Amino acid sequence: MPVLVMKFGGTSVATLDRIRRAAKRVGVEVAKGYDVIVIVSAMSGKTNELVGWVGETSPMYDAREYDAVVSSGENVTAGLMALTLQEMDVPARSWQGWQVPVQTTSAHSAARIEDIPPANIRAKFAEGMKVAVVAGFQGVSPEGRITTLGRGGSDTTAVAFAAAFEAERCDIYTDVDGVYTTDPRVSAKARKLDKIAFEEMLELASLGAKVLQTRSVELAMRYKVKLRVLSSFEEQSDDAGTLVCDEEEIMESNVVAGVAFSRDEAKMTLVSVADRPGIAATIFTALSDAGVNVDMIVQNISEEGRTDMTWSCPVDQVKRAEKAMQDAKDGEIINYHELIADVDVAKVSVVGIGMRSHTGVAAKMFQVLSAEGINIKVITTSEIKISVLIDRKYMELAVQALHDAFDLDKAA
């Protein structure tokens, strides 16, 4: 039998009624002749509750016990989904990560999947089981301990199962009905895409779009897993949602596929650093060791023998970055005049595989922002994206203006 993977996020299984609705969708696919692997998240809000309990109990908690607690939400959902399917006379069984087993690294709370041997679940399919309901977000370490994959890990679980079982498709059910050209809450003209290339989706996910977890898109691209993003709350149809697929499967597409943004950015500048070989490595090693997630980087020569180094990072990591740089200065590892932090910036990006073959995208983007009186603080580019840092107060205006300028409300 062909295998289909279906993943249901927290809002899709938030109540028993919603679990029943999701189970009916699974039943439809079973009736079509699929063996189905259902990946479930914890019921909406449950993981946050569990994390809070851990923090209250032990502020300096043992990461292994943290994983044991926070993974339990998915176990509850998996059992309830399996029971619901059984009540519908669909042969189903729940599976926890260690039972499959989902083999991961030992990095508790941030583990990575290393292998998913399909033999155990395939054997049960051969015996007549039609649905394997698997707890997402979790696995088992080489030491035999429960691990978790980090927030959004159920998306990664789903794609990994689709790859391991050579599934026909991986359907991600969530509270939105697909991937949009931008956030509909920011631009009323945002349009749902029928298809989007893996590379475009990866860029959008990494730039702030919350539809799919970045690691899940990376896995899908590597193993050529067809992903479909669709809503749990709308009528089911074969052409619903957005298909994330190979570029070759998209006949026509706009030059720009979407506009992404991230509100919670900060711009930091080390002023007047000694300009010598290895200085960049020294700065960014110190930031990395402090757990600062650096994104955009710009270096400017300011005067003879000195340079200014600018980077962006999440706004909640500014204090960490400031301490790392002060420690490096106190230890005489880095010598600089001052560190300036601007915590009122946002990142806005345009993304599209069409940029590879079309010129003028950058010029048009900058002209649009200029016409709206928006000053650009930092620019970075890749083959299929252009990102800028701007004052946060202009973020929504920039998104709306760029969405209009690139005609993203119209299909190609």
Provide the annotated binding site for substrate.
47, 74
Which residues are part of a known binding site?
7-10, 47, 74, 174-175, 180, 185, 210-211
Q: How far apart are CA 336 and CA 274, in angstroms?
A: 7
Nearest to 4 by CA among 27, 32, 26, 37: 37
Which residues 6+ apart lie within 8 Å of 140 measured at CB? Answer: 97, 98, 101, 102, 103, 104, 146, 147
3-state secondary structure of 366: helix
Tokens in use for 99? 């039972």
How far lies 393's CA from each of 50, 399, 403, in Å? 35, 12, 17
**Which long-range contacts does 28-33 make (Cβ < 8 Å, 24+ apart)?**
28/236, 29/4, 30/90, 30/130, 30/131, 33/1, 33/2
Residue 274 · residue 283 · CB < 8 Å:
no
User: Which candidate, 201, 113, 128, 194, places its Cα nearest to that of 159?
Assistant: 113
Beta-carbon count within 10 A of 75 CB: 18
For tokens 């004052």, the residue is 391
Backbone angles phi, psi at 11, to 5 degrees: -70, -25
| Cis status of the peptide bond prior to 101, with omega within 30 of 0 | yes
The conformational region for residue 385 under phi > 0 = left, psi -120 to 50 = alpha, else beta, is: beta
Residue the block writes with tokens 């970075």? 380
Task: Report the DSSP pairing between strands 297-303 and 306-314.
Answer: antiparallel
Binding residues for ATP: 7-10, 174-175, 180, 185, 210-211
